[in-house]
Amino acid sequence: MPADEEEIYQEHVLDHYEDPYHRGHCPGATHRHMDDNPLCGDFVQVELRIGDDGRVEEAYFDGDGCCISQASASMVTEKLEGRTVEEVRAFTAEQMLELFGARLTPNRQKCCLLPWRVWQAAVFSRANNNDGGEKTA
Amino acid sequence: MSTLDASGVTDLESLRADFPILGTRLHGDSVPLVYLDNAASTQRPRAVIDALVSVYEKQYANVHRGIHWLSDQSTDLYEEAREKVRRFINAPARECVIFTHGTTESINTVARSWVEAHLKPGDEILLNEMEHHSNLVPWQQAAERCGVKLRYIPLADDGRLDMARLDEVLTGRTKILAVTAISNVLGTVNPVAELVRRAHDVGAVALIDAAQHVPHCATDVEAWDADFVAFSGHKMMGPSGVGVLYGKRERLDAMPPFLGGGSMIRRVQLESFEPADLPAKFEAGTPPIVPAIGLGAAIDYLERVGMERIHRHEAMLTKYAHRRLGEIKGLRLLGPDLEHKAGIISFVVEKIHAHDVAQLLDRKGVAVRAGHHCTMPLHRRLKVSASTRASVYLYNTTAEIDAMIDGLIEAQRIFRR
C-alpha cells in the first residue's frame, strides 16, 4: 500500500465520490458549462445561479467518469459555492490540487482539474433558459 | 531454447526467463510485474534485444546505397528480414512485403494511394464499428478527399459482425472492404477469408488489419486471398517503428507511391520522377533498418516456439480468465463467447471507472489498459464510456490472471467500504 499522502483513494476522496455534494441540476441556473476529457471520456457539467451581486448563490454539478474527476467535482462545488465570481476566478489549479489532497501523477491531475476548468468557464457561460442541461449521469 | 506448454509450468518458467523485463519488481520491490497489456505492445526476448545491439555494434550502415562492406552487411540483414516476414505470413513473393513504420502507415498507404487511383465520387468504402481508429480515420480522410462514401457492417450484440446483414452494405458500389482480423477490444475473431471472398464477389478489394492476428496465430495471406494486409512489429515482440504492408503484386503495381523521396525512385528529373520497382516503390527514405532486422529476430523466436502452441496457450489463458472474472460480482465481460474470441479480455466493473480499476491493479503490479483503446465509436455502440482490457501473450501465466483477480477484489473492497 502506498504511503498516505500518495493514497489517491483516501477516505475523503471516496466520501465525495460516493456521497457527492450537490450532484444534479441547479434550480434557476443562470450559468452552465460542460466539458469532457476525450482521452478517458470523463465529463463534468456545472450549473450555477449567480446573483445580481456577482455571488454564486447555488452550485450543482453532474457528470460521469473516474473517482478522481467526480470526487474533485464535488469538492470544488462545495468549496466555491457562496463565493463571488472574482473569488472563483482567483482559485488556481494549484489550489485545486491542494484541495484534492492526494498526490496525483500528471495523467491523473488532468482528471482532477477537469471540474475546476469547467467551473472557471461556467462563471462566464450564461445559460439562456432553464432547460436543465443536456446530460444526466 | 525453451519450449512452451499450456500445462507445463516448468517450460513456461524457462520461456519467461528469455524476457528480461518480466523479472521486474515494482513499488519498492513489493510486487512482480504482471504484464497484461500485450494488445497495446508486447515485450521482447533477449534474442531480439541482442539482435538489435549486434547490428548497431557490428553491421550497421544505410541500406541499398553504399558501395561498401558495411552497407552490404546491413542490406543483407534487412532483406533477410523481409524474407522471414514473407515466409511467416506465406506471401507469394518478397516484393509483396513492404516495410513501413507500423500498421497505421500501412493502412494510410492504401487509403491514400489505392483510393486516389481507383475510387470516384459515389463509390463506397465498407468499414464497421469495431475498427481501431487507425482503420477508420484514414478512410474518413480518403472519403473527404475523394468524395466517396463510408458504410458500416452492422455489429451484432454479441460483438461479432452481423454477417446476415452483409448484403445490405456490401454492394456493387463497394470498392474497398477494410476490416480487422481480430478486434483489439472485443477480441472478436472475424471470418476473414469469407469477408474477402464476399468483397471479391462484388468487385471490391479487401484490406485486413492483422495487427492483433499475426502475433498470435498462424497467418496465411494466400489462404485469406486478401489484397492488402497490415501489421506492426512491436505487437509481436519486435521493436516499435516497423510495420508491414503486404499487398498482392498486381494491387501494389496498380497504385502510385504514397510517400515520395529517396529509394522509391528509378530516376528523377527536375520536373518528374519514375518510381522504383516493388518493394522500394513504397519505401521512401531510409527505412526502419534495425527495427526490421529486429522483427526478423522476433519471427525466428516465434517460429521456434511455434504459432500453434502460442495460440493454444493463449486460448487456455483466455478460458481461465473468463472463468475467474466470472466469479467477480458486477463485472461484465465485453465481446463474444470463447469460441469466437482471441486473448483480448475487456470488461467493465459496476461502479468503478476503468481508470480507477487500472490504477488499483497497478498497485498489484498488474499492467492493463483502461479507456477507449482507440475505439471511440465501438465504446459508444457498447454504451460504456471506458473499459478495462487485459490481453495475454505467450509468456503470461494463470498465476498472473490470479494476480489481476486479487487486484479486482481489492478494488471492489476499497470502493465498497
pLDDT above 80 for B218: yes
Q: How far apart are CA A7 and CA A3, in angstroms?
A: 6
Average pLDDT in the A106-135 region? 83
Picking from A18, A41, A66, the nearest residue to B356 by CB comes out as A66
Q: How far apart are CA B353 and CA A64, in angstroms?
A: 9
Chain B positions touching A20 (Cβ under 8 A) are none
Picking from B27, B376, B414, the nearest residue to A9 by CB comes out as B414
Average pLDDT in the B62-72 region? 90
Picking from A8, A14, A40, the nearest residue to B371 by CB comes out as A40
From chain A, which residues contact B within 8 Å (Cβ)? 1-2, 8-9, 14, 18, 38-42, 64-68, 108, 111
Residue A45: count other Cβ atoms within 10 Å of its Cβ: 24
Q: How confident is the model at residue A4 (pLDDT cuts 50, 70, 90)?
A: low
pLDDT above 50 for A135: no
Residues across chain B: 417
| pLDDT value for A6 | 63
Q: How confident is the model at residue A38 (pLDDT cuts 50, 70, 90)?
A: confident
Q: How far apart are CA B368 and CA B41, in angstroms?
A: 11
CB–CB contact A65 B353 (8 Å)? yes
Tell me the shortest Cα–Cα distance from B85 to chain A, in angstroms.
34
Q: How confident is the model at residue B10 (pLDDT cuts 50, 70, 90)?
A: low
Q: How confident is the model at residue B389 (pLDDT cuts 50, 70, 90)?
A: very high
Across chain B, what does the average pLDDT equal?
Answer: 95
Whether B364 has its CB under 8 Å from any CB of chain A: the answer is no
CB–CB contact B356 A67 (8 Å)? yes
Chain B positions touching A18 (Cβ under 8 A) are 415
Chain A positions touching B370 (Cβ under 8 A) are 40
| pLDDT value for B417 | 63
For residues B377-407, one letter each, b for 16 or more C-beta atoms within 10 angstroms of the residue's C-beta and e for the rest, the string is bbbebbebbbbbbbbbbbbbbeebbebbbeb
> Judged by CB atoms within 8 Å, which residues 14-43 of B form the interface with A?
27
> Judged by CB atoms within 8 Å, which residues 230-289 of B form the interface with A?
none
Ranking A24-33, A120-129, B112-121 by mean pLDDT, the lowest is A120-129
Chain A positions touching B385 (Cβ under 8 A) are 40-42, 64-65
Ranking A99-108, B134-143, B157-166, B278-287 by mean pLDDT, the lowest is A99-108
Phi, psi of B228 (to 5 degrees): -140, 145
pTM (predicted TM-score): 0.92
CB–CB contact B353 A14 (8 Å)? no
Tell me the shortest Cα–Cα distance from A27 to chain B, in angstroms.
27
CB–CB contact A8 B359 (8 Å)? yes
pLDDT above 90 for B359: yes
pLDDT above 80 for B119: yes
pLDDT above 90 for B269: yes
B21 or A131: which carries more pLDDT confidence? B21
Residue with cell 489517491: A8
Across chain A, what does the average pLDDT equal?
Answer: 90
**What 3-state class would DSSP assign to B243?**
strand
Exposed, middle or buried, B150 (CB in 10 Å: 0-12/13-18/19+)? middle
Instruction: Catalogue the active-site residues of B.
Output: 374
pLDDT above 50 for B3: no
Q: How far apart are CA B59 and CA A126, in angstroms?
A: 66
Chain B positions touching A111 (Cβ under 8 A) are 355
ipTM, two decimals, is 0.83
Q: Which H helix or E strand runs over B391?
A: strand B387-391
Chain A positions touching B356 (Cβ under 8 A) are 9, 66-68
CB–CB contact B379 A39 (8 Å)? no
Is the alpha carbon torsion for B179, B184, B186, B187 positive or negative? positive
pLDDT > 70 fraction of chain B, expressed in percent and rounded: 97
Tens digits of residue pLDDT in B84-94 = 999 999 999 99
Average pLDDT in the A46-68 region? 97
| pLDDT value for A59 | 98
Residue with cell 450549473: A47
Whether B68 has its CB under 8 Å from any CB of chain A: the answer is no
Size of interface A-B (CB pairs under 8 A): 44
Which strands, in side-by-side order, build the sheet including B387-391? B331-333, B344-349, B387-391, B369-371
Q: Are B107 and B158 in contact (CB under 8 A)?
A: no
pLDDT above 90 for A7: no
Report the chain A residue with the minimal C-alpha distance to residue B357: A66
| pLDDT value for A133 | 46
Average pLDDT in the B68-83 region? 96
pLDDT > 70 fraction of chain A, expressed in percent and rounded: 89
CB–CB contact A41 B359 (8 Å)? no
Q: List the single best residue of B137, B356, B382 to mutate versus A (max A Cβ within 10 A).
A: B356
| pLDDT value for B2 | 43
